[in-house]
Structure formats: structure tokens, C-alpha cells
Amino acid sequence: MNVVDLITRKREGQELSGAEISYLVDEYTRGEIPDYQISALLMAIFFRGMNSRETLALTESMVHSGQVMDLSHLPGLKLDKHSTGGVGDKTSLVVAPLVAAAGAYVPMVSGRALGFSGGTLDKLESIPGFNVRLSLSQFKATLQNCGCALIGQTEEIVPADRKLYALRDVTATVECISLICASIMSKKLAEGIDGLVLDVKVGEGAFMRSLEEASELAQNLVSIGNSMGTKTVAFISDMNQPLGLAVGNALEVVEAIETLKGHGPEDLTHLCEKLALKMLTLAAPPEKAGAAREKIAHLLRSGKALEKFRQIIRAQGGDPNVIDDYSKLPQASHRRDILAQRSGYVVTLNARMIGEASMALGAGREKVDSQIDYSVGILLRKKIGDFVEKDEPLATIHFNRESKFQEIRDTVLTAFAVGPARVDPPSLIKNLVETSL
């Protein structure tokens, strides 16, 4: 097969066959096709899209680029969740230990920051020593001992997504339904799970800005999961404003721990409870939902979910003392408040701008090999619907480079619109997609 011909055909909007897609994925994974050709192919896919046959073929090729885990020796349910990416979305850090504390296994293969959105792996790596690069055998052992393990794509598990994910991040080819579907579902289907709950984000700080696009993405994800034998459902949730108050890696770890301690922001706590409940009741009759809800509340109240997180951190080489002493996490050298320029109600709080400001601080990557600054980020002090007095803080910026501050301050200030009329905060959960296309 000729790679240039395949790129050309996709550029012209033609369908690629399963064999052609599999050739491209396999050869790229083996290093036989260079990044520049796959970058061109990704851009052609971005503009021309893929139909459902191509998307399924891409997903299957990516799943089989590495090993598919067999966890049948573990008793009980193997469950996972995955978000399509947002700003301040640290739900995995709460939900994974919570569901593991409830007795299920959570074998989570996750991703890094993508564009302006944060990544679970980067957040975890802000915990000193935390190793997200476990070998497959270490991953399985941790899963067996703790009920949960969190890693990234490796040479052994979805190596194709490992390369494609990093390439999409720096070639402006993230916001594409087929590429998102294949990326997410390849990771999840390689885990050998019984059930999957997806959180499809919609709004300014999501890859899908309209409800229509988010619904299409959710339908496609659910369809691929179910057709490949994994019970899959998808929530569609708001990402017009950031989730919770913290944006930036170490700051988000603190907020996740606070949530596990029962002191998290209301929106984040609510979404985590909803995701965990859906995971635990995916295969259960509706009358079991009450007991599962009780169990979740108990695990949070009693500190058992928090203790599970401590156990996971320790098992993956991290410093578990961060749970009791946040100063053990990376700290930025400066903190400065952004003050409201007028009194009024917060009408909009643009999640994308906050994500971009956080990236500009150093919390994300601009190139494949950019180093992340785990300590920096933005702590929101007001959200949509809150009243703010003139000169009261809207947000606090945690930063290390003074030279960047002014530009970032302006972005954060622009992200907030303050007006005289009270508005209701956007509803958090918009929809639940349970059936395939």
C-alpha cells in the first residue's frame, strides 16, 4: 500500500477500507510511517471525517496495536469511566478510588493534557513519585491488590493511541468525532472491562461546543462500546464553565482530595457521585440504585474512598502524605488575585479561556516534549451566578514566571463577564445516552 495514495484518498473524501486503516495504524505504531505523513492524514480525517465503518475499523486497529487485557481471573465487576476532556475535570481522581472502595475493579488507562484540556496522568504525576508508566504485569498486580490502577498508554497497551494522541495534541486535530471515538474507545476496550460510563463534555471548554455535536459523539461512543461487547453509557455534561474551582495539575489534586474528604465543590461532588452511581448500577436493576447511592455516600463520609486513594498512591510509588499535607505537592512561587472591575453577577465564565490561561502558565504542552509545570494554575473564587463586589477576587493565579502574568491576567479577566442581572448556573448534566445508534 502507498501511504501518499491513502492520504490523497482521504483528502478527497473517499472511504478507506478496514485493511488500509489497519495498515496505517500498524505501520505507524512500528515506526515505519513518519509523523509528518500521519499528521497530514489526521488533518485530512479532521476535515473529511470518517464514516461509522471507518471509525470502528480505526478503533479496532488501535485496540489491537497492543495487548487486550484479560481480567477474567479477578472476581467481580471491572468498570471504568472516561471523560472527553474539559477544564478543571478531575473526576477520575475521585471516581476511580470511590468505585474501587465500593468493591469493583477499576483498570484505568488514561490520557495526558490535550489542547487546552487537562489530563488525568499529568495531574497524578504532580504527586511526587507517582508512576503512571507501570508495566502490564505491575498494572495487573496493583489492580489485584488495590482494586484500581491508573496508567497511560504504553508499548504494551494501545501504543497506537500513545503516538496518535501526542501527535493530535500538537497538530490541531483533536476536535474530530472519529478520532476522539477511536482514541477513547481503544484505551477502554483494551482494558478488558465489563462496563463503561463516559462523560461527554459540551460547551466552550469542551471539544464539542454544541449539544448536537456532543450528542453525536456520545451516540458514536456508546455504539462502538456496545457493538464491541462492553456495556457503555454516556452522560453529556456542561463544560461552559470549568468544573469545580481548581484548574492546574497540583491544584486539581488538592481539590480531588478535598472532594474525597467530603469538602469538595458542589458541582464536582455531584458529578462524581452520579458517575460512580452509574458505574455501580450499569448492570443492576433500578431498585438497587438506592442502596448503591447510600454506599457511595457512606464511602465518602467514612473516609474509605480517601483511604483507597492513599493505598493507590502508595502502590504506584507516590507520596501518600500529600493527602494530609498539601505543601508536599509542587507549589508555585507567586499567587496573585484577579479583582473584579465592577460589582454584579457572574454571567459567563469561559472555560476555554481559563484552560488556555492555565496552559500559558505552563500547565499544558505546546510541543510533544514540552515540560509541564505541575505547580501553576488558577483557583476560581467565583462561578456563574455568584455575586461579586468591585475589587473582590474573581480568581487567584498561581504562577512562576512574572513575565507571563499580565497576559494571563487579561485572559482570565476576559473569561469573566459580570452583569447587573442574576443568572442561574448552567445545569450540569444535560443528558444520558444509553442506547446505540
50 binds ligand URA (CB under 6 A): no
Please list, in sequence order, all residues whose beta carbon lies within 8 angstroms of the beta carbon of residue 161, skipping any fewer than 6 positions away: 62, 65, 153, 182, 183, 186, 187
Q: Decide if 302 is catalytic.
A: no
Q: Which is nearer to ligand URA, 173 or 316 (CB)?
A: 173
Q: Which of these is catalytic: 161, 194, 199, 267?
A: 161
Q: Which is nearer to ligand URA, 92 or 241 (CB)?
A: 92
160 binds ligand URA (CB under 6 A): no
- In angstroms, the CA 361 to CA 353 distance is 12
Nearest to 350 by CA among 115, 123, 116: 116
- Position of minimal CB gap to ligand URA: 183
120 binds ligand URA (CB under 6 A): no
Contact 165, 311 (CB under 8 A): no
Q: Which of these is catalytic: 10, 168, 295, 382?
A: 168
Q: Which of these is catalytic: 187, 295, 382, 398?
A: 187
For the bound state, the minimum distance from the C-beta of residue 184 to ligand URA, rounded and expressed in Å, comes to: 5
Q: Which is nearer to ligand URA, 123 or 383 (CB)?
A: 123
Please list, in sequence order, all residues whose beta carbon lies within 8 angstroms of the beta carbon of residue 302, skipping any fewer than 6 positions away: none
Q: Which of these is catalytic: 82, 308, 382, 409?
A: 82
Q: Which is nearer to ligand URA, 90 or 383 (CB)?
A: 90
Contact 242, 351 (CB under 8 A): yes
Q: Decide if 187 is catalytic.
A: yes
Q: Taking the CB of residue 342, how many other CB atoms lie within 10 A of it? A: 11
For the bound state, the minimum distance from the C-beta of residue 177 to ligand URA, rounded and expressed in Å, comes to: 10
Sole binder of ligand URA in the list 132, 149, 180, 190 (CB under 6 A): 180
For the bound state, the minimum distance from the C-beta of residue 82 to ligand URA, rounded and expressed in Å, comes to: 6
Cell numbers that stand for 67 in this block: 495487548
Buried residues in 298-318 as b, exposed as e (16+ CB within 10 A): ebbeeebbbbbbbbbbebbeb
Give the dihedral of Cα atoms 35, 41, 45, 50; nearest 10 deg: -110
Select from 28-36, 56-64, 95-103, 178-186 the region that touches ligand URA (CB under 6 A): 178-186
Which DSSP letter does residue 321 get? G
Buried residues in 277-289 as b, exposed as e (16+ CB within 10 A): bbbbbbeeeeeee
Sole binder of ligand URA in the list 55, 92, 178, 183 (CB under 6 A): 183
Select from 26-34, 49-57, 94-102, 175-183 the region that touches ligand URA (CB under 6 A): 175-183
111 binds ligand URA (CB under 6 A): yes
Q: Which is nearer to ligand URA, 55 or 183 (CB)?
A: 183
396 binds ligand URA (CB under 6 A): no
Nearest to 47 by CA among 169, 160, 173: 173
Which DSSP letter does residue 208 get? B
Contact 82, 167 (CB under 8 A): no
Q: Decide if 168 is catalytic.
A: yes
**H or E element in which residue 18 lies:** helix 18-29
| Separation in Å, CA 243 to CA 221, 234, 259, 348 | 22, 18, 12, 14
Please list, in sequence order, all residues whose beta carbon lies within 8 angstroms of the beta carbon of residue 323, skipping any fewer than 6 positions away: 257, 306, 309, 310, 313
184 binds ligand URA (CB under 6 A): yes
Q: Which is nearer to ligand URA, 84 or 311 (CB)?
A: 84
Buried residues in 94-106 as b, exposed as e (16+ CB within 10 A): bbbbbbbbbebbb
Q: Which is nearer to ligand URA, 187 or 383 (CB)?
A: 187
84 binds ligand URA (CB under 6 A): yes
Size of the site for ligand URA (CB under 6 A): 9
379 binds ligand URA (CB under 6 A): no
**Which residue blocks in 30-176 are alpha helix, DSSP H?**
35-48, 52-63, 91-101, 120-125, 136-146, 159-169
Q: Decide if 161 is catalytic.
A: yes
For the bound state, the minimum distance from the C-beta of residue 188 to ligand URA, rounded and expressed in Å, comes to: 9
| Separation in Å, CA 177 to CA 173, 184, 186, 188, 358 | 10, 11, 14, 16, 25
For the bound state, the minimum distance from the C-beta of residue 34 to ligand URA, rounded and expressed in Å, comes to: 21
85 binds ligand URA (CB under 6 A): yes
Sole binder of ligand URA in the list 56, 79, 114, 189 (CB under 6 A): 114
Select from 180-188, 237-245, 254-262, 425-433 the region that touches ligand URA (CB under 6 A): 180-188
218 binds ligand URA (CB under 6 A): no
Q: Decide if 201 is catalytic.
A: no
For the bound state, the minimum distance from the C-beta of residue 114 to ligand URA, rounded and expressed in Å, comes to: 6
- Residues annotated as part of the active site: 82, 161, 168, 183, 187
Q: Which residues bind ligand URA (CB under 6 A)?
A: 84-85, 111, 114, 179-180, 183-184, 187
